[in-house]
Amino acid sequence: MRAMLIALLLAGCGGSRATIGEFSVQIGRDGTLAIDHATDGPQVRDLRLLAGTGEATVTEQFGAFRFDDVTEALTSSARLSGSHGRPPVSVDARSPDGEVLGTLVLSEGTVPDSLVLDWTPSDPSANRLGLSADCDDADHFLGLGEQQQDVDHVGQAFSLWVQEPGVGKSDTDAIPDGWPLTGTRHASSFPVPFLLRPTHRDGWLLDTSGKVDIDLCAPDPSRFSAVAWTSGTLHVVLFAGPTPLDPVRSLASYVGRYTVPPAWVFAPWNDAVRGQQRVRDVAARLRAFHAPSSVIWTEDWKGASQSSYGYHLSGEWTLDRSLYPDAEDVAAELKAQGFQWLAYFAPFVRQDTQAWDDAVADDVLIHDDQGQPYTFTGFTFEQESELDLTNPDAVAWAQDRMQRALDVGFSGWMTDFAEWQPTDCVLSDGEDPLQAHNRFPELWQQTSADALAGHDATFFVRSGWTHTASIVPVVWGGDQRTDFEPDDGLPTVVAMGLGLGASGVPVFTHDVAGYQSIGNPPSDKDLWFRWAWLGAFTPVLRTHHGAFDTDNWQFDSDDETTAFWAKVGREHTRLFPYLYGLAAKAAEDGTPLILPPALVFGDGDWGRMDGWMLGSSLFVAPVLERGVTGRQVDLPAGATWYDWWTHAPAQSGWYDADIDQIPVFAAAGTTVPVLPRPPAPWSRSMIPI
């Protein structure tokens, strides 16, 4: 890292200026603070510090949270004054009446082109800490994790808090009538307190586990702000660089680089449940149709039952021998056919199970204030608790059961949930559960990562916070509805992939044809075909049976669909050299595999949600509506394009696309290494719909 250079100069009547690494920090005569980057120009104007106290009543139901009776008393700094001693640079923040609110310490960050701002209030009881700065007419705001209805969040004000996103979404952040089943607009399993301002080529990370309230020029169009529910010192990191993508790469350097998973992760995955014969049948059908597939994953390996709200898993943590009596033999058979076999884990422990008896005996659950296991109503409407992952014994307890799955022959699992940790439980390490809540996904994911270290294995997750991107191999988008609706159906997959990419998450996937069918019909053939094609141009192509598996359209619902799946799988597998190379690039420099087109080409269309860049070469423009035979494609400005399928020069315009087609375009001057396309024993005309 460059040697730290901090020179504080008096600027006469203009105030004082500090050069901190590549940043220039100016305290104006009027006490305002501005930050510029040495090579990239203006970054922040009129930065102000916020401090105060707040309280709220927290209600949790089924992993969704509402914050009622919220009261806050925040004071904004009116004047800043800098010290003139040796580094680090210390700035006093004063209230409008001249009282010292606290101290801001500025120092060079641990990664290039980063500036650290440590804000400590004078009042030790302060539990709301934040900052605000000027907005301008060119401001846009990307990042902030997995959001279903926005990519550019300018004009929005909402909170970042890990929770169940809901089945179906409101178009506001007010609690809807159907809560908690219906989610608010920005309820998310995977928010990230990272704010990317592409027009300023900077990104702001609030490195906190507390709830974060953001206001992005709304309702006041002249200011943006971020306030963390935390005490002590708020640690903020400002990243900058020559391009809008550089702060995303710097974020990856800060939280930790991605680790490339085994090569087989980037071939198609298929799921199979309801017993070992079904697993064998799925494997046989895939091979009979020459469908490339490297993974079969079986979430009911530990048991499941049918109910009025779908096929749901048991609360046990070990193999169900009634469904999988010869699991070791099945694992060996799958391995011989070229399949890895994946299982399933969640951090819940349900009452009236052997797992419950074991967990209570070993004292590895979260507690209530009476020292008893803390219980809540789970998604199966039964009473359950959750592992206390601040307790090393609980981590060891989970990893012991994970090792048993590896001993059976599994090569990893879905690491599900982690959004539900209550805010009023008692944790082993004494931490405030309100502060620990957003960190729980990282603890749960690290448990899997450590259990699988050294194995030819992988895992995938749906929840997350700041450091998840450095821990997990694959993130999936959660449980979308089995429809085309823009609130929670197929179109939201694009927005979520773009938001996670702009937040530094390297590898994204999703359930082909969705998962939830509560309040909407099950998946059908049209939806399945459209969704599968989008999956083919996603880093990981994956099926999931859905909650109502016998009602949903599946890859083997008819011969045409299986043959189509084989075709889609071949196209995805052809991209393996490209995808694996992109994963290696993510590990090397932090570039996510899915990106908003404007981050690649800088065309200024920051909020588009109708397509994504897969790497820097391929623009994927899926059909996101039912019953149409094509779509208007507006190709990103800043590049010359060619049709991926015909290799002909391409222009913006209408493109025909029946349900077995997807518009994809390659940027001139780029290289997409692919495997040879094998002869395909399939065409749409062979089997009529």
Helix (H, G, I), strand (E, B) or coil at 25: strand
CA distance 92 to 82: 6
Q: What is the share, in percent, of the chain residues with pLDDT greater than 90?
A: 90
Q: What is the pLDDT of residue 7?
A: 34
Q: Pairing relation of β-strands 412-415 and 340-345?
A: parallel
Enter the tokens of residue 231. Answer: 């005490």
Name the token pair of 687.
Answer: 């089997």
562 within 8 A of 556, measured Cβ to Cβ: yes
d(CA 267, CA 265): 6
Report how far residue 510's alpha carbon sits from residue 148's, in angstroms, rounded to the nearest whole number.
Answer: 13
For 317, 472, 512, the CA distances from 466, given in Å and listed in that order, are 28, 12, 27
pLDDT digits (tens, 9 = 90+) for 111-165: 999 999 999 999 999 999 999 999 998 999 999 999 999 999 999 999 999 999 9
**Nearest one of 310, 441, 461 to 386, comparing CA atoms:** 441
How many angstroms separate the CA atoms of 359 and 143, rounded?
Answer: 38
Whether the Cβ atoms of residue 410 and residue 404 lie closer than 8 Å to each other: no
Query: Nearest 5 degrees, angle CA 11-CA 17-CA 226?
Result: 140
CA 31 to chain centre: 39
* CA–CA distance, 645 with 666 (Å, rounded to integer): 9
3-state secondary structure of 383: strand
The strand pair at 474-476 and 458-461 is best described as parallel
What confidence score (pLDDT) does residue 420 get?
Answer: 98
- Residue 88 CB neighbour total at 10 angstroms: 16
C-alpha distance across the termini of the chain, in Å: 61
> What is residue 18's predicted lDDT score, i.e. its pLDDT?
87
- Cβ distance 83 to 25 under 8 Å? no
Q: Who's near 451: CB < 8 A, 6+ residues apart? A: 398, 399, 402, 403, 406
Q: What percent of the chain has pLDDT over 70?
A: 95
Tens of pLDDT, residue by residue over 432-462, are: 999 999 999 999 999 999 999 999 999 999 9
Q: How many C-beta atoms lie closer than 10 Å to residue 325's C-beta? A: 13
pLDDT tens for 240-261 read 999 999 999 999 999 999 999 9
The pLDDT confidence band at residue 42, using thresholds 50, 70 and 90, is confident
Q: What confidence score (pLDDT) does residue 233 get?
A: 98
Extract the runs of DSSP E, i.e. beta strands, from 542-684.
594-595, 612-614, 618-620, 630-633, 641-643, 649-650, 653-656, 664-667
Are 435 and 230 in contact, with CB atoms under 8 Å apart? yes
Domains along the chain with CATH numbers? 6-255 (2.60.40.1760), 263-363+405-414+449-588 (3.20.20.80)
Q: Cα–Cα distance between 94 and 499 in angstroms, integer?
A: 36
All residues at 6 or more sequence positions from 236 whose CB lies less than 8 Å from its CB, including other chains: 116, 117, 118, 119, 131, 204, 205, 206, 207
Instruction: For 588-636, write each residue's pLDDT tens digit.
Output: 999 999 999 999 999 899 999 999 999 999 999 999 999 999 999 999 9
104: which 2 tokens? 């801001």
pLDDT at 679 over 80: no
- Helices 440-452 + 392-408 axis angle, to 10: 40
Name the DSSP letter for residue 484. -
Please check whether residue 475 is in contact with residue 458, taking contact to mean a CB–CB distance below 8 angstroms.
no
* Contact between 163 and 113 (Cβ < 8 Å): no
DSSP letter, residue 485:
-
Do 342 and 411 meet the contact criterion of CB atoms below 8 Å apart? yes
Residue 639 has pLDDT above 80, yes or no: yes
6 contacts 87 by C-beta, under 8 angstroms: yes
DSSP secondary structure letters along 431-445 = --HHHHGGGHHHHHH
Place of tokens 């397509």: 611
The reported pLDDT for the residue numbered 683 is 40
pLDDT of res. 16: 83
The radius of gyration computed from the CA coordinates of the chain, to the nearest angstrom, equals 26
β-bridge mates for residue 25, sequence order:
18, 35
Q: Is 14 exposed, middle or buried (0-12, 13-18, 19+ CB in 10 A)?
A: exposed
pLDDT by residue (tens digit) across 329-355?
999 999 999 999 999 999 999 999 999
Judged on CB neighbours under 10 Å (0-12, 13-18, 19+), 527 is buried
Asked if 54 and 72 count as a contact pair (C-beta separation under 8 A), the reply is yes
> Kindly report the CA angle at 186 between 185 and 187, in degrees rounded to 5?
100
Cα–Cα distance, 419 to 85 (Å, whole number): 46
pTM over 0.85: yes
How far is Cα 43 from Cα 238, in angstroms, rounded to an integer? 10
Per-residue model confidence as pLDDT tens digits over 265-304: 999 999 999 999 999 999 999 999 999 999 999 999 999 9
Average pLDDT, the chain: 94
**Interval 46-79: pLDDT, tens:** 999 999 999 999 999 999 999 999 999 999 999 9
Nearest alpha carbon to residue 593 among 644, 532, 512, 538: 538
Q: Which of 298, 299, 300, 296 has the alpha carbon at shortest distance from 285?
A: 296
> Would you say residue 85 has pLDDT above 80?
no
- Which three-class secondary structure state does DSSP give residue 490? helix
682 vs 401, higher pLDDT: 401
Q: Mention every residue, 6+ apart, whose C-beta is less than 8 A from residue 186.
A: 147, 150, 156, 158, 159, 173
